[in-house]
């Protein structure tokens, strides 16, 4: 086969893979937003066929032959194609190493586990979920060997979410954070908490929807390319760099909940919309890793969205939209209320300061589960002990303890650390951004264009063209978690007068 013919076949393959993904996403979007309640079954049939077809297309021997041929001619390929082939070969090798029957069995297991986990959480019954979790752990240990037999199983799993990151790296990372954050939390605990009761005043849906529109405008999200929907759990879904959807969840008794969901998901959307055209419809489209993606969402949510200059900038509009709720509140009071730091039980509701400790608990447990030094039956007891040790809180039940997150039921072991890494990457990006330009002048006027442009140039535009570690290096320099710890110390010392 001539090189040109092979490249044409590669483009055809990539477009087909994109089409399957797009169809899958469209069904998911429909199912979580406007589809009638009892219609999941039919979509399930369609999704199953799509997944099977995609798997068959991608794992076909002809695909392997094509990728091998292109790899042999890699010297003749430009950087983008070479990288594209490299990525596809990696995925191909991984997929074809997993025996088809195990792949199918695992797909069925995660499907069932999701269901059982839901019930177990509702009924606060860990024993119900336990056998499923045991199987999921066993499968993941086995799959880790398929992913990369040269690595320890948990390292191989971590690599799936954040390539280049391993236990040695994370042990150091979390140790640094723990050493710095735990004393800070104790110091904050000694101080009087700000009054944030106004956040719980009733806020009608319609006003909150208008507020979301305003926030999207401030974030610079072009409504011709990004819409906002409403779902139980907020998410971002990308079709390509011209079509991204975000969702939020409105709570009429909590104004800040949707506000920060919109800004968080908006950050994910900014990333996807900022990726260059050249990589679209290829394996390099989309954000490069979970950690880098979270660095962007958290950048907008916390570093910008929970800063005083930003809140001051948008507060006049907030008072206009919520006159009864915020008429007697100042921007400064609002700033203090949305930055209240207090150890708590639920990760997704945790504040910026304590959040990483929630992640650390999950990291310790996953590491030991996959490493074989912790048995599934001992997860609740270990969870509760670590929460006491790291956060000083007593876990009253498993519903608010080890059953709170869906990740493990979906087979995602090694995912959690990305959240903490993202926060730390973001803080270092901010530091470098501040060295390059005036960040806070424009932000205090509600103008985020310069911030977004910096992130686009340093992070967004590459998509998967660079390795995650190179994107991090590009925007952060040499990664140093003490920068994040310094940031937290500065922010919370000022907030609580430490």
CA 137 to chain centre: 22
Report the nearest approach of Zn ion to the CB of residue 260 (Å). Answer: 11
Q: Closer CB to Zn ion, residue 212 or residue 297?
A: 297
> Which residue is at the shortest CB distance from Zn ion?
297
Q: Retrieve residue 114's tokens.
A: 């999701």
CA distance 396 to 345: 9
Q: Closer CB to Zn ion, residue 287 or residue 380?
A: 287
Backbone angles phi, psi at 497, to 5 degrees: 60, 50
Annotation marks residue 265 as catalytic: yes
Helices (H), 125-248: 126-147, 153-161, 167-189, 205-219
Cβ pair 228, 208 in contact under 8 A: no
CA distance 448 to 399: 39
What string of H, E and C letters represents the secondary structure of 312-345?
A: HHHHHHHHHHCHHHHCCCCHHHHHHHCCCCCCCC
Q: Closer CB to Zn ion, residue 267 or residue 380?
A: 267
Q: Closer CB to Zn ion, residue 241 or residue 423?
A: 423
Q: Report strand pairing: 236-240 vs 243-248.
A: antiparallel
Question: How many CA atoms lie less than 13 Å away from 203 in the CB half-sphere?
Answer: 29
Q: Using DSSP, state whether 150 is helix, strand or coil.
A: coil
Report the nearest approach of Zn ion to the CB of residue 264 (Å). Answer: 6
CA dihedral 470, 472, 476, 479 (to 10 degrees): -100
Report the nearest approach of Zn ion to the CB of residue 297 (Å). Answer: 4
Q: Using DSSP, state whether 248 is helix, strand or coil.
A: strand
**Which of 84, 238, 265, 366 is flagged as catalytic?**
265
Report the nearest approach of Zn ion to the CB of residue 296 (Å). Answer: 9
Report the nearest approach of Zn ion to the CB of residue 60 (Å). Answer: 34
Binding-site ranges for Zn ion (CB under 5 A): 297
Report the nearest approach of Zn ion to the CB of residue 496 (Å). Answer: 27
Cβ pair 163, 469 in contact under 8 A: yes
Residues 6+ apart with CB under 8 A from 427: 303, 483, 484, 486, 487, 488
Q: Retrieve residue 374's tokens.
A: 């912790």
Q: Closer CB to Zn ion, residue 234 or residue 411?
A: 234
Which residue has 């104790």 as its token pair? 186
Nearest of 256, 210, 216, 214 to residue 236 by alpha carbon: 216
Helices (H), 190-289: 205-219, 255-273
Q: Closer CB to Zn ion, residue 212 or residue 282?
A: 212
Q: Closer CB to Zn ion, residue 287 or residue 411?
A: 287
Q: Retrieve residue 476's tokens.
A: 């952060």
Cβ pair 198, 337 in contact under 8 A: yes
Q: Using DSSP, state whether 226 is helix, strand or coil.
A: strand
Cβ pair 295, 425 in contact under 8 A: yes
Report the nearest approach of Zn ion to the CB of residue 293 (Å). Answer: 7
Backbone angles phi, psi at 185, to 5 degrees: -65, -40
Q: Closer CB to Zn ion, residue 140 or residue 297?
A: 297
Report the nearest approach of Zn ion to the CB of residue 263 (Å). Answer: 11
Give me the active site residues, please: 265
């Amino acid at each position: 086969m001539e090189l040109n013919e092979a490249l044409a076949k590669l483009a055809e393959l990539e477009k087909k893979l994109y089409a399957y993904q797009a169809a899958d996403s469209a069904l998911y979007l429909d199912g979580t937003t406007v589809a009638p309640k009892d219609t999941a079954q039919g979509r399930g049939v369609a999704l199953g066929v799509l997944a099977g077809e995609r798997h068959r297309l991608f794992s076909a021997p002809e695909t392997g032959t094509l990728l091998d041929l292109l790899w042999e001619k890699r010297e003749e390929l430009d950087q983008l194609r070479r990288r594209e082939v490299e990525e596809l070969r990696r995925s191909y090798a991984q997929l074809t190493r997993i025996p088809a029957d195990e792949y199918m069995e695992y797909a069925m297991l995660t499907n069932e586990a999701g269901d059982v986990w839901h019930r177990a959480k509702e009924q606060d019954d860990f024993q119900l979920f336990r056998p499923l979790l045991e199987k999921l752990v066993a499968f993941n240990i086995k799959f880790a060997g398929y992913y990369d037999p040269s690595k320890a199983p948990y390292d191989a799993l971590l690599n799936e979410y954040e390539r280049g990151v391993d236990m040695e790296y994370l042990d150091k990372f979390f140790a640094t954070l723990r050493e710095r954050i735990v004393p800070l939390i104790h110091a904050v605990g000694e101080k009087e908490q700000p009054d944030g009761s106004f956040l719980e005043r009733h806020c009608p849906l319609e006003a909150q929807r208008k507020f979301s529109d305003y926030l999207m405008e401030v974030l610079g999200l072009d409504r011709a390319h990004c819409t906002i929907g409403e779902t139980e759990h907020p998410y971002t879904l990308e079709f390509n760099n011209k079509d991204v959807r975000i969702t939020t969840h409105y709570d009429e008794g909590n104004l800040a909940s949707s506000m920060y969901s919109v800004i968080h998901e908006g950050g994910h959307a900014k990333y996807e919309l900022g990726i260059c055209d050249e990589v679209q419809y290829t394996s390099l489209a989309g954000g490069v890793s979970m950690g880098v993606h979270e660095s962007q969402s958290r950048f907008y949510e916390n570093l910008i969205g929970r800063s005083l200059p930003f809140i001051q900038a948008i507060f006049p509009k907030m008072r206009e939209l919520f006159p009864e709720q915020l008429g007697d509140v100042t921007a400064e009071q609002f700033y203090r209320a949305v930055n209240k730091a207090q150890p708590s039980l639920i990760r997704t509701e945790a504040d910026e300061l304590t959040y990483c400790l929630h992640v650390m608990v999950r990291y310790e447990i996953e590491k030991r589960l996959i490493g074989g030094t912790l048995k599934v039956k001992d997860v609740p007891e270990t969870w509760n002990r670590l929460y006491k040790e790291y956060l000083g809180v007593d876990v009253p039940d498993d519903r608010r303890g080890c059953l709170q997150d869906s990740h493990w039921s979906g087979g995602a072991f090694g995912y959690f650390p990305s959240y903490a890494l993202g926060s730390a990457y973001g803080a270092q990006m901010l530091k470098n951004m501040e060295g390059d330009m005036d960040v806070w002048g424009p932000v205090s006027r509600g103008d985020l264009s310069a911030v977004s442009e910096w992130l686009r140039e340093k992070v967004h535009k590459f998509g998967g063209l660079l390795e995650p570690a190179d994107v991090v290096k590009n925007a952060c320099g040499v990664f140093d978690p003490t920068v994040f710890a310094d940031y937290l110390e500065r922010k919370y010392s000022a907030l609580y007068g430490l």
